[in-house]
Amino acid sequence: MNKIKKIQKKKNKSKIVCLTAYSKNIAEEIDKYTDLILVGDSLGSVLYNYRTTRNVTLNMMIEHAKSVRQGVTKSLMVVDLPYNTYRNKIEALKCSKKIIKETKCDAVKLEGGLKIIEIVKHLTKNKIPVMGHVGILPQSVQGKFRFKGKNLKEQKQILSDAIALEEAGVFSVVIEGVEKNLSKLITNKIKIPTIGIGASNYCDGQILVTDDILGLTKSKIKFVKNYFNMKKSIRLAAKKYRLDVISKKFPSKKYLY
């Protein structure tokens, strides 16, 4: 069974575990426990300190994805189409093909619903496996992120986006920063798996940014759960190394040719 089908079959049976990765070493470790690994354009803010993901380029995504590819064997690997790479059908298809060809990823993800539906249809018609993304759309936000689905107009729009994406042939959809009852409604309404980030455990699966769960970022976002203090471990290792170098304990005989 192919990896997409395997993930889709989990709907209503078991939860789908997803995380982001931007490089081989991290991908290799998380791959043991994930169903899907996303090379997200969140790398712009997480690694490059950009104020918005809009500054992330196609080449950046390709280089990071090539690295991730070397660490992923088991999980489905998805790569974000960055901002300004899917303004029209032709551009979207060209960029998706380039990403898939150069990185050997399994699928691409793009943000938006009804507004980009013709573009999504064009991709799926051309056999590009696509993951959707509704709710908070970071590429469209200039400034603070605002929780979505508080009013009826927004709820209707996000639900219609998700339904339209399913009809356009996406294999799954990320729901970001959305009120829990709306996530529940969408998850029950569509047949493809929903992957939540800040969207409650009504979703079929969950995704978080790996650097956040490792405590590598200063994220104070409510929906982020921190599982480890990696900054502390890095500091400790660097401190021990410094002491060894200064005291000439390193390199000892063991490390000499």
Contact residues toward ligand KIV (CB under 6 A) are: 20, 38, 40-42, 80, 174, 176, 197, 207, 209
Residues contacting 72, CB < 8 A, separation 6+: 21, 27, 28, 31, 37
Identity of the residue, 147 or 250, whose beta carbon is nearer to ligand KIV in the bound complex: 147
Identity of the residue, 105 or 174, whose beta carbon is nearer to ligand KIV in the bound complex: 174
Annotation says 176 is catalytic? yes
Residues contacting 57, CB < 8 A, separation 6+: 82
Task: Give the other-Cβ count within 10 Å of 2's Cβ.
Answer: 10
Residue with tokens 């603070």: 144
Q: How far is the CB of 159 from ligand KIV (least distance, A)?
A: 19
Identity of the residue, 80 or 179, whose beta carbon is nearer to ligand KIV in the bound complex: 80
Q: How far is the CB of 102 from ligand KIV (least distance, A)?
A: 19
Which residue out of 111, 166, 176, 179 is catalytically annotated? 176
Residues contacting 11, CB < 8 A, separation 6+: 191, 192, 193, 204
> The tokens of 181 are what?
């009852």
The Cα 237–Cα 143 span in angstroms is: 36
Q: How far is the CB of 207 from ligand KIV (least distance, A)?
A: 5
Identity of the residue, 46 or 123, whose beta carbon is nearer to ligand KIV in the bound complex: 46
Residue nearest to ligand KIV (CB): 40
Determine the 3-state secondary structure of 172 from DSSP.
Answer: strand
Q: How far is the CB of 42 from ligand KIV (least distance, A)?
A: 3
Helix (H) or strand (E) holding 28: helix 24-30
Which residues are annotated as catalytic?
A: 176
